[in-house]
Amino acid sequence: METNKKIKKRKLSIKKLIIFIIICVTLVYFVSNIFFSREEKMIKGRYDKVLLIGIDGMDMEVTNKLMSEGMLPNFLRLKEIGSFSKLNTILPAESPVAWTTISTGTNPGKHGLFDFVTRNPENYLLEVSITKQKSKYSTKFESPMKGIPFWRITSDAKIPTTIIRWPATFPPEKVNGVMLSGEGVPDIRGFSSGYYIYTSEDSNKNEEKTIKVSVNDGIINSKIFGPLGNDRKSIEEPIQIKTDANKAIIIVDDKEYPINVSGWSDWIRIDFKVGFMKKVSAITKAYLFSVEPEFNMYLGPIQIDPENPVVDFTYPNKYSRELADAIGLYNTLGMPEDTNALNENAITDNVFLEQVTQIENEKNKMFWYEFNRFDKGVLAFVFDSGDRLQHTHWDEKNLFNVKEGLSVNKEVVDYYVKKDNLLGDVLNKIDNQTALMIFSDHGFTSFERAVSINTWLVENGFMILTDEYDGNDEGALFKFVDWSKTKAYSAGFAGIYINFKGREGQGIVEENEKEEIMNDIIKKLEDFKDPKNNKNVVTHAYKREEIYHGDYVKDAPDIVIGFEPGYRMSWQSAIGGLTQEIVTDNLKKWDGDHIVDPSHVPGVLFTNFKTNNENPSLIDIAPTALSLLNLDMPKEIDGMNLLK
């Protein structure tokens, strides 16, 4: 038998062994937590932070081309770390529809957004879908989104949530953090855009946007048009401009704002008096083209003042001022890049590019302000100036041929490179507790020929016009439509509606006729050739039930058109108008677009983790983000979790 001494010694050895094992297990646990692969962390739902960066319009083919040329080294780096693939977009491939699909993880039949333009079936009147007033004369707005966005789920779970400039988020939603609304925020008058040209010249330009001025002893006295009063007329405030040889001083509310020829002013603040002891504060910027021999000045949209907002565009409302204190005054308009002024030759290309650069620099400041205090939860940020840039600089002065018939403009290349530089800084600063997803809502293609679907409907006997139509008036808002004989009409950038009896105010199509009429329209659209070159105009036309499901399918167009690359709905047809010819050359500077069949314009998806699907869709972003945070999926979600 062993002595007591030996037994004690053995027990001590066992005890030491147990302690050693415990220490080893503990070390393994802590080391594994430090060095776990990203994939293992995702499976276990251990990410503390989810960073979502949207780059509106980032195109798959352009991205691939620039990566192959070595011009996007940080996107290549991210691809090697995690995953890169095309991202299938939605129909129609429009920004508000696509971004709402991303945020909800559902198809439009569940979230209720189908186009920029929507119609009232009772009276055929049109309205902008993403800036929705509660009533005709109301200064209050309501959200166009009927689905459940991911930020509502994270907020309900008490997860810190920051959403910056996400489209179709006006008015802002209450979140467990902050929200700054993006595309959809109106100017001070409730419009989506609006500029003025102050000129001493006799001008043939748009009279509504041209203000004729006189220079007397170097002084101009004029006015600035502000919010609409009770009589629906703009409230005015005086503006005085003192001119010199190559500069001017703008005076508003006794404050002076110097401006040089070929240069921008600083932010100009205007206080509009809207009643007794009441005022509405606004901001704008000016660009001075010339002083002599003629005075010419561009005044940008009159925007909501972030320091004194008349309408909340952030949550909480004090966040708009907080951001201004941090980065200075900033654009509040949902789409501040003035593509209308460029299209209408009110500003030059260089002025537009300078404006885009200013806006992009402003967004960079917003991004880093939030990134530098991002220590938990979700940060979702959308950069959307690239969308406007590609709309106006797609197919001119090309730098690269991406494929036959597709070129890339130098300004577009420069934008992609700047986003790559931003990504490089992000990759150098994020830690292993941060999941990163970068994605776009759609890609791009050329816009060469404009298609008036309403004119096509007339030519094919589906729409009948009154005798008042003489071909010289574009007839916007269905001015010349004879509803008593019309079977179908088009509104928005992709939709056709049947003039259905009992639904439309003056509907004539019976239930038993509807399907046959729709089939006839679809067949003729898909057979339609451009008379100029005999090319197909439409890739496919879809019945709404083929592509949407959910409670709001009833609000969708009956037929949704997927155009061929190079073709897009004409501006006139989108607002219920006509053109003399069905297909016309696009002569505007807006020469790139994406409202074509979604198969032609996929976006991109980059992640810093491996994904399980080589063919992901916009619908998959929200469920993947929620999975990264180990949150349950709402039953309404259509998308799938991309985590491998």
How buried is residue 585: exposed, middle or buried, by Cβ count under 10 Å (0-12/13-18/19+)? exposed
Determine the pLDDT at residue 204: 66
pLDDT above 90 as % of the chain:
82
174-202 tens-digit pLDDT = 999 999 999 999 999 888 878 999 999 98
Predicted confidence band of residue 396 (pLDDT cuts 50, 70, 90) = low
Whether the pLDDT of residue 473 is over 50: the answer is: yes
Determine the pLDDT at residue 132: 81
Strands (E), 131-284: 132-133, 141-142, 161-166, 177-181, 196-199, 210-212, 219-228, 234-243, 247-252, 255-260, 263-264, 268-275, 278-284
Determine the pLDDT at residue 39: 41
Looking at residues 546-573, what average pLDDT do you find? Answer: 98
Predicted confidence band of residue 160 (pLDDT cuts 50, 70, 90) = very high
Instruction: Name the average pLDDT for the chain.
Output: 92
Residues 6 or more apart from 152 whose CB is under 8 A from it?
173, 175
**Residue linked to tokens 């949704």:** 560
243-285 tens-digit pLDDT = 998 999 999 999 999 999 999 999 999 999 988 778 999 999 9
Number of residues in the chain? 644
pLDDT above 70 as % of the chain:
90
Looking at residues 347-359, what average pLDDT do you find? Answer: 97
- As a whole number of angstroms, the distance between CA 562 and CA 542 comes to 8
Determine the pLDDT at residue 20: 56
Looking at residues 548-569, what average pLDDT do you find? Answer: 98
601-616 tens-digit pLDDT = 999 999 999 999 889 9
Predicted confidence band of residue 3 (pLDDT cuts 50, 70, 90) = low
Determine which of 134-143, 307-316, 470-479 has the lowest per-residue pLDDT on average.
134-143
Whether the pLDDT of residue 13 is over 80: the answer is: no
- As a whole number of angstroms, the distance between CA 303 and CA 325 comes to 17
Determine which of 25-39, 314-328, 443-457, 596-610 has the lowest per-residue pLDDT on average.
25-39
Answer with the residue of higher pLDDT: 341 or 192: 341
Radius of gyration of the chain (CA): 28
Whether the pLDDT of residue 28 is over 60: the answer is: no
Cross-strand pairs, 403: 406
29-83 tens-digit pLDDT = 444 444 444 444 434 456 899 999 999 999 999 999 999 999 999 999 999 999 9
